Amino acid sequence: MLFGSDRLARWSPADWPIAQDWRPVVSRFLGSRDGARLGDFLQERLAQGAVVFPAQPLRALQMTPRAKVRVVIFGQDPYHATGQANGLAFSVPQGVRPPPSLHNILGEIARDPLLQSGAPQRPRGESPGGDLVAWAHQGVLLLNICLTVEQGQPASHAGRGWEVLTDAIVEDSLGTDGPVVFLLWGAHAQKKRAIVQSSGRPQTLVLCANHPSPLSARRGPTPFVGCGHFGQANVFLRAHGARPVAW
């Protein structure tokens, strides 16, 4: 496993490595009433023997510094099966078979007509498989809306406080320079749209579609399959002087 274990051992956010420029927003949250309530909840669940994923809930903030954010992709919450969650939304550890939503994401990249020619090359040595760390290194913030989950219980930590932090992360990312693309898939991710649009930030693109889950990926009114978001993101980044992503 990526961290020796894929489960959270204890509530110790001070020990979780994150990029320096994310520390102020995280520290404000941890010092707030919502942060304290979340910590109390997680400590209680762990003491009761709950298996909580992932081992490092804030890993996205380690892999993608605030100053480098070019694209933000939201997941709902981490994968809830053993061996899948690795702290990056939709990503799984190297060698793990992509779950259905990630399978649809990779399929959309493969068929995106705007990526068929002139696409940047993926950095040498970084795999195009289910481990999306190569995206994170290029400035793609892979952020779950809720950052922990219990084994076999999707959305089990929803409404416990993580959403307050991820709202604050969105607001903080809007203070960066340069273009940023927000890919909002599904109703939960699209709740962040109001925060983005209310900022009036220039050089910002918001693209919405259904969630890539097989349950919704082909449904209207905005199917994920055929959305072309990855190519559109790169077109926008190029148009505003930023490097496109090697998806």
CATH number (domain holding residue 108): 3.40.470.10
Active site positions, annotated: 77
d(CA 26, CA 59): 12
- Sequence letter at residue 189: A
* Inter-axis angle of helices 33-47 and 23-30, nearest 10: 80
The CA distance from 120 to 218, in Å, is 28
Q: In this model, does residue 49 exceed pLDDT 50?
A: yes
Q: How much is the pLDDT for 125?
A: 43
| Torsion sign (Cα): 226, 79, 91, 103 | negative
pLDDT at 15 over 70: yes
Count the domains in the chain.
1
Which helix (H) or strand (E) element contains residue 182? strand 180-185
Radius of gyration from C-alpha coordinates of the chain? 17
Residue 244 lies in a domain: no
Supply the pLDDT for residue 153: 97
Inform me whether the pLDDT recorded for 1 exceeds 50: no
pLDDT band at 129 (very low <50, low <70, confident <90, very high): confident
Residue 135 banded pLDDT, cuts 50, 70, 90:
very high
Question: Mean pLDDT over residues 66-82, rounded?
Answer: 97
Does residue 46 register a pLDDT over 90? yes
Specify if 6 maps to a domain: no
Q: Are 241 and 203 in contact (CB under 8 A)?
A: no
Helix (H, G, I), strand (E, B) or coil at 200: coil
User: What is the pLDDT, as a whole number, of residue 61?
Assistant: 98
> Backbone dihedral region of 238: left (phi > 0), alpha (psi from -120 to 50 degrees) or beta?
alpha
Closest CA to 54 of 33, 75, 36, 26: 75
Q: Is residue 106 part of a domain?
A: yes
pLDDT at 119 over 60: no
- Asked if residue 5 is part of any domain, the answer here is no
pLDDT of residue 122: 54
Cα 124 → chain centroid: 23
Query: Could you tell me which of 161, 146, 165 has the C-alpha nearest to residue 53?
Result: 146
Mean pLDDT of 221-234: 97
Domain-located, residue 201 = yes
Structural domain range at position 141: 13-239
Average pLDDT in the 20-45 region? 98
Q: Residue 142 falls within a domain, yes or no?
A: yes
Split at pLDDT 50, 70, 90, the class of 117 is low
Average pLDDT value for residue range 167-179 = 96
8 Å CB contact between 17 and 140: no
Q: Is-above-0.75 flag for pTM?
A: yes
Res 85 pLDDT > 60: yes
Residue 247 counted as domain residue: no
- Provide the H-helix boundaries in the chain: 23-30, 33-47, 59-63, 100-111, 133-137, 162-173, 187-190, 193-198, 229-239
Q: Identify whether the C-beta of residue 135 lies closer than 8 Å to the C-beta of residue 92.
A: no
Closest CA relative to residue 110, chosen from 206, 223, 226, 215: 226
**Considering the domain boundaries, does residue 217 fall inside one?**
yes
Q: Tell me: pLDDT of 146 over 90.
A: yes
The token pair at 221 is 């009114």
Task: Give the three-class secondary structure for 23.
Answer: helix
- Quick one: pLDDT band at residue 121, thresholds 50, 70, 90? low
